[in-house]
Amino acid sequence: MKMFRILVVIAALSLFLLGTIVIAQQSTVLKVAYWRQTGTAQAKAFDKWFGEAISEFKALYPNVKIKTIAITGSEGDYYTKLALMMRAASTAPDVVFEDSFMIGSDAAAGYLLPINKYVSQWQGWKHFYPAMRKITEFHGKVYGVMNGSDVRGLWYNKKIFEKAGIKVPWQPKTWADILSAAKLIKEKLPGVIPFSMYSGVPDDEASTMQGYEMLLYGTSMGNNALYDWKTSKWVESSPGIEHTLQFIRKVFTEGLAEPLQYALNPQYGSVVGQQLLPQGKLAIDLDGMWVYGSWLPTGPTPWPEWKKVMGFALMPTEYGQAPGFVSLSGGWALSITSHSKHPDLAWDFIKIASSAKNLATFDYYVANTAVRDDEINYIYAKTPLADVFANVMKYTHYRPAFPEYPKISYQIDLAMENAMLGRPIEETMRGYAAAVRGIVGVENTEAVK
């Protein structure tokens, strides 16, 4: 009788514990935050990618609820809102969509969880290109898994070039070649914007990376243009910075670039891809390779003729000096926040979302370059100009992912805006140098003559 009672107690306790586990599973919510660029190809591709990842995750964890947190607004707004969310355990998501250039600062701030123990046991990690594994590192620790990368160059409208008498295919060898083409287009086709580049504060990191750094890294400073890796110091002034700002001043003040009401619009990227280029109102666009994503059948502005109309040229160095061309690469990653209540579940979600098949789908529809070498086995193989963009990777550079970079990036945008508004370059350079010294300390800067 006593044994019977013991068994009953054990059975009751087991049922209680089982019930507790089930209730706990049912109450588990995995929060995933991401930037939603409403009305863009990125938004549609993101929905497709996340939808498949969530379905696969739910098949493994039917009692875990995925709560997606879509943050809208400009890119700068997203960084600000995400940082505020990650500060406190009560508001922090479990998984975040993280721009690779923010990983260093967010890791230093304690917002992100190192994931070395996860990636070291994951077979998929070996399929990521070495640069794509390195870009999410900070002080030797991995803080994210890349879901797409990119390259940059010069999109140009072949029909506009032919009307202006410029031979196609077009491949400028120097900055002077770009200016010559822009001047000729302005002269021959008054209703067309000759040249477009992101510039100024409203376009945030697009201005820094697609505009300023595409010029700066093509000067004689080369890879040490922004941060001197040999001396471990930020470059506060140099001939390269001066020439970059002079180029920006020239194209805007001489009417070779887009009007200021376009340039200082935070949504200018959408205007370029969805209006100016497909409508034949822009001749040359210094931009990312992903622009064509807007023109795909799944994009916001389908444009079946784009392959016949648009060409893509490499961005030349200033004087054509070695290596001849330049590009910048970045991209976004999925990371786990340090306040995550469910880091193991968060990792499983990232692992599922980062499979070769799922990333191939996302990178194809959003017009990214692949980050895994096995994405080519899936739909990514259909990516237009995949071989052209792969060739650009040999000339690419990466932003210094240090905590100070976002603040310096903002100062770059201010300097660009001063230049495009026609303010004196010397004054602008003094202001930039002082700002950099204030951010990193005078002992961590250098002036290059």
What confidence tens digit (pLDDT) does each residue in 212-234 have?
Answer: 999 999 998 887 899 998 898 99
Q: Is 22 contained in some domain? A: no
User: How would you classify the pairing of strands 325-328 and 152-157?
Assistant: unpaired
pLDDT band at 10 (very low <50, low <70, confident <90, very high): very low
Q: What is the CATH number of the domain that holds 218?
A: 3.40.190.10
Q: Which domain holds residue 129?
A: 27-150+330-387
Distance CA 146, CA 137 (A): 11
pLDDT band at 391 (very low <50, low <70, confident <90, very high): confident
CB under 8 A, 24+ apart: contacts of 236-242: 236/432, 236/433, 236/436, 236/437, 236/445, 236/446, 236/447, 237/429, 237/432, 237/433, 237/447, 237/448, 238/447, 238/448, 238/449, 239/448, 239/449, 240/216, 240/448, 241/216, 241/429, 241/432, 242/425, 242/429
Q: Is 392 contained in some domain? A: no
pLDDT band at 449 (very low <50, low <70, confident <90, very high): confident
Query: What's the whole-number mean pLDDT along residues 10-33?
Result: 57
Both 437 and 378 in one domain: the answer is no
Number of structural domains in the chain: 2
Both 59 and 161 in one domain: the answer is no
Both 125 and 215 in one domain: the answer is no
Both 124 and 257 in one domain: the answer is no
Both 320 and 227 in one domain: the answer is yes
Both 63 and 168 in one domain: the answer is no
Both 255 and 319 in one domain: the answer is yes
Lowest mean pLDDT among 20-29, 191-200, 357-366, 416-425: 20-29
pLDDT at 41: 67
Distance CA 6, CA 19 (A): 20
Both 191 and 99 in one domain: the answer is no
Both 371 and 432 in one domain: the answer is no
Both 125 and 115 in one domain: the answer is yes
Query: What's the whole-number mean pLDDT along residues 418-429?
Result: 97
Both 194 and 125 in one domain: the answer is no
Please name which of 310, 191, 189, 207 lies closest in space to residue 263, comparing C-alpha atoms.
Answer: 207
pLDDT at 139: 86
Distance CA 171, CA 409 (A): 29
